[in-house]
């Protein structure tokens, strides 16, 4: 597998069942020649980690609207660490209160996106995170 290839898993953790935005991002990134897979909805951090391992993802994009972003992202980082996958970068999109963005960044999240963020901005952030 090409180590320079960007491989993105777009994931929907928790009870959030709204997947339209995640599917739009998955399709857009694929059209930009970025290998991208959508996890499906209601995945646990453990399931997301396993899916990321299966596709050898180097970026995970979390789409979350449920309000449980801090807990679920912290659990995901823990799962990645336990599987020796802590090199995988995480970006988060959804309804994220401004007050939680700093907390997500301090966990190690490489980008936080809210409603109205352009697909081009998300793509650029993914490419930048991959290049770190």
What's the pTM value of the predicted model, to 2 decimals? 0.94
Nearby residues of 125 by Cβ (< 8 Å), 6 or more positions away: 91, 110, 111, 113
Q: What is the pLDDT of residues 69-89, one digit of tens each?
A: 999 999 999 999 999 999 999
**What pLDDT was estimated at residue 61?**
98
CA separation (Å) from 88 to 49, 76, 93? 10, 11, 17
**What pLDDT was estimated at residue 67?**
82
**What pLDDT was estimated at residue 2?**
61
Q: What is the pLDDT of residues 28-63, one digit of tens each?
A: 999 999 999 999 999 999 999 999 999 999 999 999
Domains delineated in the chain? 7-131 (3.40.50.280)
**3 has pLDDT over 70:** no
**What pLDDT was estimated at residue 17?**
81
Q: Are the C-beta atoms of residues 88 and 57 closer than 8 Å to each other?
A: yes
Query: Mean per-residue pLDDT for 125-131?
Result: 95
**What pLDDT was estimated at residue 30?**
97
Q: Which residues of 14-49 are buried (b: 16+ CB within 10 A; e: fewer)?
A: bebeebebbeebbeebeeeebbbbbbebebebeebb
């Amino acid at each position: 597998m090409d180590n320079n290839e960007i491989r993105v898993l777009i994931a929907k953790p928790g009870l959030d069942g709204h997947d339209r935005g995640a599917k739009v991002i998955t399709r857009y990134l694929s059209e930009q020649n970025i290998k991208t897979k959508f996890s499906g909805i209601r995945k646990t951090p453990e399931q997301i980690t396993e899916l990321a391992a299966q596709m050898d993802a180097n970026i995970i994009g979390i789409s979350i609207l449920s309000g449980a972003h801090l807990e679920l992202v912290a659990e995901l980082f823990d799962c990645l660490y336990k599987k020796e996958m802590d090199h995988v970068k995480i970006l988060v999109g959804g309804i994220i209160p401004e007050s939680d963005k700093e907390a997500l960044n301090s966990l190690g999240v490489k980008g936080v996106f809210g409603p109205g963020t352009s697909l081009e901005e998300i793509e650029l952030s993914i490419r930048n995170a991959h290049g770190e």
